[in-house]
Amino acid sequence: MSGDFSKMIEFMTLIGQLKRVQRTGWVRSNITRPESVADHMYRMAILAFLVDPASGLDKDRCIKLALVHDMAESMVGDIAPSDGISKEEKHKKEEAAMGYISSLVESSVGREIYCLWKEYEDQSSAEAAYVKDLDKFEMILQAYEYEQLEDKPKCLEEFFASTKGKFQTDQVKQWVESLESVRSNPKTS
Ligand code: ZN
């Protein structure tokens, strides 16, 4: 096996690991068969397809940011605030993981992946801010679905409470409002 190919396989094995890292919030809430980090990023990427054309945001960039933003979790896992790891330490671990992961592919691709991750992490563009809103929206949509699937209405209120007032973009704010109204009036939806 050539060196490049074995690195590519290692890269893809790490990406595959994202299918097995379960999202910590659902595990702690005792959700049956909780989704993986890959599941979460895939639906965020699809949500990014729906970006309002009038927003002026670069849709392809939003899709790429969604696909990359949690990639470090293939190595460090899904660290939750309740894990007692400081924000700085979490950032350091994830930065090191991204440095390693992006070194496994051709250098220009590796640079692109690393810079997209950093752009999201630093929230340094309008696209990154939009994708952060999608991150939270995807989570509460998932919470709503689990409430339905487990037949326990409003049992995941903490996820809604933790994102309240934190959305920044008009489009996602409207989605949140609509979701909350469907959740409050399930019969009329
Ligand atoms: Zn995420």
- β-partners of residue 22 are 36
Rounded to 5°, angle at Cα 19 from 146 and 16 = 170
Q: How confident is the model at residue 1 (pLDDT cuts 50, 70, 90)?
A: low
Cα distance between residue 116 and residue 131, in whole Å: 11
Q: Give distance in angstroms: CA of 69 to centre of ligand 1.
A: 6
Q: Give distance in angstroms: CA of 50 to centre of ligand 1.
A: 17
Contacting residues for 20 by C-beta, under 8 A, at least 6 apart: 36
What are the φ and ψ backbone dihedral angles of 57, each rounded to 5 degrees?
Answer: -80, 150
Q: pLDDT tens across 67-86, in order?
A: 999 999 999 999 988 899 99
Per-residue pLDDT, 3 = 83
Q: Give distance in angstroms: CA of 105 to centre of ligand 1.
A: 23
- Give all domains of the chain, ordered by start, each with its CATH number: 2-184 (1.10.3210.10)
CA distances from 47 to 82, 107, 138, 159, 166 (A): 28, 29, 8, 19, 18
Q: How confident is the model at residue 186 (pLDDT cuts 50, 70, 90)?
A: confident
Q: Give distance in angstroms: CA of 41 to centre of ligand 1.
A: 6
Q: Give distance in angstroms: CA of 78 to centre of ligand 1.
A: 9
Per-residue pLDDT, 187 = 67
Tokens for 2, please give them: 């050539």
The residues whose Cβ lies within 5 A of ligand 1, an ion, are 70, 135
Write down the pTM of the prediction: 0.95
Per-residue pLDDT, 189 = 46
% of the chain beyond a pLDDT of 70: 98
Q: pLDDT tens across 164-182, in order?
A: 999 999 999 999 999 999 9
